[in-house]
Structure 1
Amino acid sequence: MASAHPVLLVATRKGAWLLHGDTGRQHWRLDGPHFLGQIINHLVLDPRNGRTLLAAVSTGHLGPTLFRSADLGASWQEAARPPAFATTADGSGRSVKHTFWLEPGPASEPEVWYAGTSPQGLFRSADGGDTWAPFSCLNDDPTFREWMGTEQDGTPDGPKLHSIQIDPRDPQHLYIAMSGGGVHESTDGGRSFTPLLDGLAVVEGFDRNTPTFHDPHCVRLCPTLPDRLYQQNHCGIYRLDRPATTWQRIGDNMPAEVGDIGFPLVLHPRDPDTLWVFPMNGDTVWPRTSPDGKPAAYRSRNGGASWQRQDHGLPAEQAWWTVKRQAMCADTEATLGLYVGTTSGELWASRDEGDSWQCLARHLPEIYALSIGYPQT
């Protein structure tokens, strides 16, 4: 179990903050802002060394880039070559609008990182995040490009590649998700990808056999049971147990008045049957608020067969925020801690696996992503 002091990494619309906690997670010290006024889409501490911080930054006048820190944000260095699509002779190629997802490689590859971008692109670094190159076939493959749709399609802040999941048993085996474009699997280190769409619903009136119309919000692979994946989708909550290829809609077991639409999904690091979601209003107009203004996490301890509402300490009414797909995370303590960042700039924490919640910070900018790490000296 983790015994070091945790640090909660908060990426927001207007900068980044670090919350340093004590070993009991009772007291937290807010450090920041870093990159004030700049969009931070993801901020991650390398779990393999406990030292390297990577930040996906959109700087406005300079465009999208990455920054690295080896001293927990005391100093930052810009990546020498951030993710960028291959150039074309006539200059008609795509441009990265922002890096959306950062994923450390496996422990066997301590300098490897992966990145997903908007519009959809997959990139890899082999030197700790300093230089990046396009990875795999899909960035410019005509079929995948068709599935990606246009840059006007997808989510309000642009289409994106996310949820890069690497099988801890085999670094050649990985999954990615595209909004839009669906979930895809590679077993040959990215040389080819195969869609995994069976069983998934799409918005009424569209063809579920066409990857373009699939919008996975968040896909997670169980650390201790890597043949199991969970997905929070635009059209529900799903589970996939390999070698099967058909997703099962476990969100049908959620309370009907709440539904199973949302963005984030968090797995227990040791129990593959335990997971959390944070539903939002899934009405046809998609207001992107908590249902009825009453936010709550929902936990399942049996792989999605049943769900328990967890709202003790959260606002009981008139709280119209929601939680983005990267803005919920868990630590690795014996009694798990959960952390939620809201679109209204509040940061909520639970030290008892969601049974009760307390507010750690208010009045931050809109929170885009949360992650937690344990720094090593």
Structure 2
Amino acid sequence: MLRLLVLLLPVPLAAAPSLALSLSVDLSGLLNPQITADAQGNLIVAGMVSDCSRPVVNPISSCGGYWIAKLDPTGATILFATYIGSPVQPGRPRGAVLESVRADLAGNIVILSTASQTSLPAVNAMQSAVNGQSNLHLAKLAADGSGFLYATYLGSSGSDFAYSLALDGSGAAYVTVFTRSFDFPGAPQFTYEQNLLLKFSTDGQRLIYISVFTPQVPAGSLRVDASGSAQASYPYEIFQFSPDGSSSRRIPLPQWVTTHSPLAFLTGDGGFWVAGTASDSLLPVTPDAVQSSDMRVPYLRIQQGQANPAMQPMTGYGIDGFAVDPIERFRIYAATTTGLFKSEDNGSTWSQLYPSAVQSVLMDPFDQNTLYIVAGTLIPNGMFLRSQDRGQTWARFAAELTDVGYYGHSIAADPQTPGKLYIAGGPFYHSEDGGGHWSGGWGGSWGAILPPQITDGSGELGDQALVVTADPSVAGRVYVLSQTSCIGFCPIELTLARSDDGGASFTLLKNAFHPQIDPSTGDVFAPNLPAGQLTVFRGGNFDVPEVLVSPGKIVSMAFDPQNPGTLYVALDTGDIYSSGDGGRSFQYLATLPTPAANLAVGDGGVIHASQSAHATDGFAFRFDGLGNVIYGTYLGGGQTTVRAAAIAPNGHFFLAGSTGAGLPIVNAIQPLFGGAQDGFLAEFDASGALVSSTYLGGSGSEEINSITVLPDGSVLATGASASPDFVSQASAIGAGSTMIWRIVP
């Protein structure tokens, strides 16, 4: 059963958009494919080809290096399809690279290329052939595909590379070029390598201006506003050019923005929008943000099937373990990447006890005031600390065990024997006096029961104790899960050994697993043994395994000692199940956004769950003309990537990409998450209010990779789909994984 987490926000007074087109397109055989639309809504598809097997309709050429087609607004009819340029010769380098395709208001199609050979048409040309190693090529194809209105090369005797293309309302082309020469036609004197903005006349017969500018990187995006001012956006800055090209203004982006590979757009009031993707970042969102932080928290409190974050949460991106006070079970401790936290109210609020990373926490089963932690993040630099005042002060202990930690740290206490402690982390140690003295080490009693050598003699065994688990129901019984490897080419294997005398001697068990033990019954559970199942050894009797029907692949377990036989399992799907009969039957309880790596049961059956709080979310920020943030927000559900953005003439800002569940939803076309990954589209008004946001996807994976705001205010989105159940129609040029969507406001 699919269960979804959907955040529904208050809906502003705006009409919900509608999906006017969902088209599946076959782009197989097209290199660097380009998709756009003209003002009449007709779809334009172009790309480079290596052969001439694609269909032609009313062509000007039946074979060439490029293929371009115009389809009607439904995609069901080919208005024309033609090849242009010289065919690619087998074994020969391609003579031109397609860079960009745009349509003017009359429906004419402008095509920008970088050409290294004279392989593209020259019609009413300013320059009829390549001059140098490579030049730009700019062509305007008539709206009906009947021929070229102009087609020209332009460049220097060196190397020129075309990057981006934009058109103004008259159909004049603006092009950014990176040149390596001193003699680019019409350009002023400049140093050897330079970036140029070129404006061509509407008929392509002359250059209106050339402007020199210096972005930190050559590749960027280009747009032209209603006044004829060109705007070139780059990862570190935006350049705004006067309508006559005589001057330019550089707007640097804030440093924190540049670290996220932003998409940037100028606004009509001299400010700008930026959008991008951030992982585990603290961005300066504003109080009116749609989403003030990433959607994930490391801790969730589950009560009566409802999973909620704490009212006063802990910080950090991960919880490594819990410890529950066995006497006053409302007191919970959590070891996290940012310290040790304590709750005195069964997980509702948390306070920090230790200020830096803690790998694990153990509470002395005989003394509520005594805590043990493994502090530190780097192996082998973790250290053992003890507090005898519930975490107010700490002192180091077991400092003499300098060889512990190369394979992690694990610490346990025998609930039946005061002072009995165990440590594993490469070697295995045990103490009878609360850590005052230690016995064991490398190759100790647990290692002695392992064979000394691989049977074929290929190498000696090395035994690293990874995890130690004390059986709470039997005094002196302890399990050690170890990794058995060797020097040489031989398999790495896990082994499980049990001691019934406090670690003095061990018996090797048949199966290796991390034992989960019910403290009330002594039942030992082996999750995913066999694969996808759950095996239990009742009362710790390994001679009589009982294979249970597991609800799925288990990632963690916990037991309720106040209710013998009650256990909880967390699955890799994020689902939580409960059993009241020792695992013989399970009932669905809740679903978390991500799988719970750790579970613990507090007072009254309240479940404490940890999940990865690593989050990737989109963001959108609006700046004024002075570079101050006037609106900023996250947008996503923890698995969101912004891949495209655009700004409309009315100042509305769009962003799109791919997302998991949890996207904030407003005026949605598709309000429910479809499957593994959906495409998404969001629209903000000029003030930052979220006007609409929607999923687009089926049970598989979808993504949106580019968006264009068309003259009628609709949005053309292109991307990919891998869902057999996502509703779409096949285009006249065939169906494939590429999708074209048109969203109408």
Structure 2 residue 391 is the aligned partner of structure 1 residue 168: no
**Structure 2 matches for 1:303-342, cutoff 5 A?**
303-311=541-549, 314-315=551-552, 321-323=553-555, 327-333=556-562, 335-342=564-571
Q: Structure 1 residue 219: deviation in Å?
A: 1.5
Aligned equivalent of 1:285? none
Superimposed CA distance per residue, residues 301-321 of structure 1 (whole angstroms, 9 cap, x where no aligned partner): 452122111115x14xxxxx4
Tell me how far apart the structure 2 counterparts of residues 148 and 74 of structure 1 sit (CA, whole Å): 33
Q: Distance in 2 between matches of 1:307 and 1:43?
A: 29
Partner of 2:15: none
- Please say if 1:275 is aligned against 2:533: no
Tell me by how many angstroms 1:342 deviates. 3.3
Q: Does 1:372 align with 2:601?
A: yes
Aligned position for 1:42: 321
CA shift for structure 1 position 230: 2.9
TM-score after normalising by structure 2: 0.35
Partner of 2:388: 126
Shift in CA distance, 232/37, structure 1 to aligned 2, threshold 3 Å = same
Q: 1:28 aligns with which of 301, 305, 323?
A: 305
Aligned equivalent of 2:508:
249
1:70 aligns with 2:332: no
Map of 2:470 onto structure 1: 220
2:590 corresponds in structure 1 to 361
Aligned-partner Cα distance in 1 for 2:570–2:302? 12
Pairing 1:262–2:513 present: yes
Name the structure 1 match of 2:486.
Answer: none
Sort the Cα spacing of 1:184 and 1:238 in 2 relative to 1 into closer, same or farther, 3 A. same
Report how far residue 233 of structure 1 moved: 4.1
- Distance in 2, matches of 1:248 and 1:127, equals 38
Deviation of 1:30 (Å) = 2.3
CA displacement at 1:279 relative to structure 2: 3.5
Which amino acid letter does the alignment assign opposite residue 369 of structure 2? E
Contact 2:412–2:468, Cα closer than 8 Å, also in 1: no
2:302 matched residue in structure 1? 19
User: What's 1:52 paired with?
Assistant: 331
Change (3 A) 1:194 1:167: farther
What's the CA shift string for 1:171-229, capped at 9, x where partnerless? 2x211222xx1321012331332224232579966655x6xx31333422333x21222
Give the Cα separation in 2 of the matches to 1:53 and 1:243. Answer: 27
Give a deviation string over 1:305-355, Cα, whole Å, max 9, x none. 22111115x14xxxxx452xxx32211255411122234423222111011
Q: Which runs of 5+ in 2 are unaligned?
A: 1-295, 484-493, 606-745
Distance 1:229 1:185, change over 3 A: same
Q: Distance in 2 between matches of 1:340 and 1:203?
A: 38
SS at match of 1:38: coil
Structure 1 residues 365 and 334 mapped into 2: Cα distance closer, same or farther (>3 Å)? closer
Displacement of 1:67: 1.8
Pair 1:246–1:45, CA change in 2 (3 A): closer
1:46-81 Cα shifts (integer Å, max 9, x gaps): 2232332222222xxxxx3122222233332222x4
CA distance 1:32–1:175, shift in 2 (3 Å): same
**Rg (Cα) greater in structure:** 2
Q: Is the 8 A contact 1:123 1:132 kept in 2?
A: yes
2:380 aligned with 1:135, yes or no? no
Matched, 1:106 2:365: yes
Between the two proteins, the alignment pairs up a number of residues equal to 286
Q: CA RMSD in A?
A: 3.1
User: If each structure's strand is expressed as a fraction of its own residues, which one has the higher value?
Assistant: 2
Decide whether aligned partners of structure 1 residues 244 and 53 sit closer, same or farther in structure 2, where only a CA change above 3 A counts: closer
Identity fraction in percent = 19
Q: TM-score, normalised on structure 1?
A: 0.66
Inter-CA distance 37–123: structure 2 relative to 1 (3 Å threshold): closer
Any conservation in 2 of the 1:345–1:365 contact (CA below 8 Å)? Answer: yes
Deviation at 1:37, TM superposition (A): 6.5
Q: 1:358 to 1:127 in 2, by over 3 A?
A: same
Separation in 2, partners of 1:336, 1:115: 29
2:597 is the alignment partner of 1:347: no
Q: Distance in 2 between matches of 1:341 and 1:356?
A: 15
Deviation of 1:356 after TM superposition, in Å, equals 1.2
State the AA in 1 paired with 2:534.
A
Kept after mapping to 1: 8 A contact 2:346/2:602: no
Shift of 1:245: 2.9
Q: Within 1, Cα distance between the matches of 2:347 and 2:562?
A: 24
Aligned-partner Cα distance in 1 for 2:587–2:453: 36
